[in-house]
A and B are shown apart, each in its own frame.
Chain A
């Protein structure tokens, strides 16, 4: 899916002629608008469907809900028109559709009294905040390459954000929350983007050194270690962030950072040796952590034996409940509002929100959702291939990989493919920090794709040395 899309459009050459011909080039904002209308329509339909299934009537606030989502979509669209005319027309509609479907699922789960207070109104406010941040980013960040200058600021901020929750009490075994004045945010979510910016900035500046210097390992040419002087800072930052996360017991995010680091290092240097080193480190780290952390050990046991708690007479575990939900959905699902995914209990609206989609929309609906994520990731990689500067390319690869890795870790976790790690499904799951961060990711991707597809070349921005390096 994403592979074929990612390889589709060849990057535009900057040698394209200037003048009237260039300005006539289609910006495809009309396509985006049509897709946005369709996306909002699907979400409003889903919302009405929940009401019809549960009470036999369309919810009274269906129009207000549709208006709110449509208004947000239109504002974002206007910002893209004004600030990023040539951006990829698929990114924004997919984000709106996923965000809207997430709101529908959370609204639907709000109807189950056993799952606690309503979460959809707060999620709508957070979505609005996310779209606001999206608009500000698209309008204020005229050129994504500016971010490269803030690589070290980013990494400092990321580390501060990662360390901050240690000062706050742990929630459900993980210290990843900051609670103040009635708000609770997960700073690790924002740290993802900041670390991607840092990795992109640092790696694009030191590519040559990382790729060509250093000792050979085992006498094989391809397995070459870079010099410690170059690699040191990256490794240190990465170790620090992973260490902090292990202390906070947020292993999903830890795994995500690790994979992100390996992928970006590989793309920057082209050295397969990094993958080997990465896999070795990952295997060693996973073994050590699962042996020494009872919290993680339990997760691994749940993964290997999801039904053990039933045999032990303690009732089904969350993973077992999640599997029951997916299984009962079958091919076509029970229909929105008609499933029993509330049995999952705690975290049904956040980590396990996908189980509700699987039960009520079935495999068909799940394929649709995964297809949307695949398309979003593919458009991210397409932007990476189309962009002309190494920083932008690495950043786009990093951001697209963050999305893909999150989808894999969560979907694999709730369906017992890999051990469950607490993480939010992008746009779909309840969680303010997550939805705001994902809007930020989409904003930066739009920024990069706009720069990549913009007709007038910007020779000043692409130095000859960089072009030659490509």
Chain B
């Protein structure tokens, strides 16, 4: 069974006088353990699709199922709780909590999940070591490089033991070396924890690592390719 199933997704923004159709009937299935990149030019609807898959936004039309749960049918409160328990996020601008250390940032999701202190501290350190910055556990985001911050963001996303991780342009602010290191690390996490990763990107280096590339243009899927890597 697919972990994510999007059926006939349409999304129209009416924030200006002219309605903007960001998605025009997207159908997509993603299986457990995939390492998928959603690509396309700016304005093609990548971020909108990712927001809908991530439960941050709801489609104007169509249904989005996460296993057996139709996100359209969840209340705002249930949606927040669903995100907390089932979805991990990695953002382009890292979006760590600036006043918390790397370890505390990683623990944060587990605090919201009410994981006991000892268990979450142990897990946070384990994840920080896994993403290669265990030695920076007590550093605050301002004391870390962009690549290191993004590693903390990945550790934080993994901490909730999500069914899948949404990564919106995770390498956009990183230099080449950091990008390679981050992608290698994410690929390793994908293998190690069988975590599903879904990226939006127009970074070729990400595409080179992806096992599946879904291309969007004008809010429609124009190609969907799978690779053996």
**Same assembly:** no
Q: Which residues of B contact A (CB under 8 A)?
A: none
Q: Which residues of A contact B (CB under 8 A)?
A: none
